[in-house]
Structure 1
Amino acid sequence: MSVTLILVIITVLTSLYAWNNQDILRKWIFNPYSVNEYGQYYRFITSGFIHNDFIHLLFNMLVLWMFGEQVEYIFAAIYGVAGKAIFVALYILGIIVSDIPTYLKHKDHAYYNALGASGGVASVLFSFILFAPAQKLYLYGIIGLPGIVWAALYILYSAYMGKRQGDNINHDAHLYGGLFGIVFTILVYPKVISHFIGELGDLSFF
């Protein structure tokens, strides 16, 4: 069983558990005020293992499963068993780091809450795009565009939704998670830069 699948299973189970236990949901959700006032730093991690609703959970876990296994395989091929640990670090740190700007922005706002694995998922997705920017990704099996194009659209959508807010989904985490995924991948495997540039030569929109 892949590490990716284990992460998916854990996240599904913890989300279901939190939906049926509102006290746990309140304790695990990312509330910057509680982190700042009461030192509840664990929320940086626990909030990444619960979701707003079934659609939110399904979308995040589908993307994690689709691209996580490929990134996990790539890191394992490069670094052996250590590659799996690197993949886990990419995902977990992506969840944590992507929430830091939100924490700084809302640490004095007791009303603000956010949840979801979006930061970690975005980190994995953008790591994959560094390795395969020209690979076609299909929306609903119909609309096929290179990964790098989807990444640009993803950033624009996240920036727009981040300004709207209105739900408990931290859309800013999509953006910061993606940026973290790029930086992390370059740091652990600098050769990915030349690989990325080379792959762009195969970029095609048709």
Structure 2
Amino acid sequence: MMDQTVCCYRHPDRETGIRCTRCERPICPDCMVSASVGFQCPECVREAGRTAPQPRTVAGGAIAGDQRLVTKILIGLNLAVFLAVLANKDLVNQLGLFGPCFTFDNGTAQGVVHCGVGADHPGQWYRMITSVFLHQEFAHIGFNMLALWWIGAPLEAVLGRARYLALYLISGLGGSALVLLLAPDTLTLGASGAIFGLFGATAVFVKRLRQDMRPVLMLLGLNLLFTFTWSNISWQGHIGGLVTGVLVAIGMAYAPRERRRQVQWGTCVAVLVAVIAVSAYAVSQISG
């Protein structure tokens, strides 16, 4: 009998006696990748990496390298707008939230509902989201950004980036919608509505994970006490953001695993549609 020479499938000039434990192709020492049993070839290792389930957060989001990136970006945007306001005070009038025309010391500004009449004069709906990033006092932005970091960063790790950002923005819009409905003549600004949405979502996930509810309920209760006892605080924005955040978080936390993405994003769309409906009704009341 004659011996048959076996060479590495990637290096035909190299003899070997080792085969991949998955595909049984011959592999030389340079191509061997250690496995739990024996060695595997590079192709089998890559294929296993593609088919292996990716790690996910509790809510089903992808686990990113920096799990606080979106929170950092949101804080950066708020700080950038705050610096712009320090340089140009009129930005408060241009970006703040109010319903009808508003009279300032330096003139009249248009709100969500236009001062004029007709289709050629649409309202400034952008105020509902720009006001969420707007602050004009150091204490106001300082407290909000600290709260955003303390509450938002851990929640981002639970939700993942996309779900967390959707929760933040929809909560901010929910706060603006209730302000527009109940206090349209008041100039309102700040990230508090969105942050209260994060408070509500945190409570939902603490409950879902069967953790101790007392710390988060005490913190939420304390903030609600400040909301209704301190002056110059928009309780409408806080409550609107809180309710919106709770509704979105319920859909994200309790979505069945087999239909998790559909239920989670469907909840976001449904809550957003409800926010738009409330806003549209508020505008019709102001216009009427």
After TM superposition, is the score higher than 0.5? yes
Q: Distance in 1 between matches of 2:113 and 2:216?
A: 37
C-alpha distance after superposition, 1:122-146 (max 9, x if no partner): 111221122236558xxxxxxxx61
C-alpha distance after superposition, 1:99-152 (max 9, x if no partner): 112112233x3xx2011000111111221122236558xxxxxxxx61112223
Match of 1:12 among 79, 93, 102: 79
Aligned to 2:162: 85
Q: Distance in 2 between matches of 1:191 and 1:104?
A: 30
Which residues of 2 match residues 1-206 of structure 1 at below 5 A? 2-33=69-100, 34-37=111-114, 38-76=122-160, 84-107=161-184, 109=185, 112-132=186-206, 146-161=215-230, 165=231, 167=232, 169-190=233-254
Contact kept? 2:227, 2:234, Cα under 8 Å? no
Q: Distance in 1 between matches of 2:195 and 2:81?
A: 16
Aligned to 1:139: none
Q: Distance in 2 between matches of 1:49 and 1:98?
A: 13
Question: Percent of aligned pairs with the same residue?
Answer: 27
Query: Which residue identity does 2:236 align to in structure 1?
Result: D
Contact kept? 2:170, 2:245, Cα under 8 Å? no
Contact kept? 2:99, 2:180, Cα under 8 Å? yes
C-alpha distance after superposition, 1:24-64 (max 9, x if no partner): 22100112211022510100011111113011101101111
Structure 2: runs of 5 or more not aligned: 1-65, 101-110, 115-121, 257-288
Q: Distance in 2 between matches of 1:6 and 1:35?
A: 27
Stretches of 4+ aligned residues off by more than 6 angstroms? none
More helix by share: 1
Deviation at 1:191, TM superposition (A): 5.8
Q: Distance in 1 between matches of 2:132 and 2:254?
A: 28
Structure 1: runs of 5 or more not aligned: 77-83, 137-144, 193-206
Q: 1:154 to 1:43 in 2, by over 3 A?
A: same
Q: How many matched pairs?
A: 169
Contact kept? 1:159, 1:172, Cα under 8 Å? no
Q: CA RMSD in A?
A: 2.2
Q: Distance in 1 between matches of 2:183 and 2:238?
A: 17
Between structure 1 and structure 2, the one with the greater Rg is 2
Q: Distance in 1 between matches of 2:85 and 2:136?
A: 10
Contact kept? 2:92, 2:136, Cα under 8 Å? no
Aligned to 1:141: none
Query: Which residue identity does 1:179 align to in structure 2?
Result: V
SS in 2 for 1:35: coil
Query: Which residue identity does 1:157 align to in structure 2?
Result: F
Contact kept? 2:205, 2:253, Cα under 8 Å? no
Q: 1:92 to 1:186 in 2, by over 3 A?
A: same
TM-score by length of structure 1 reads 0.74
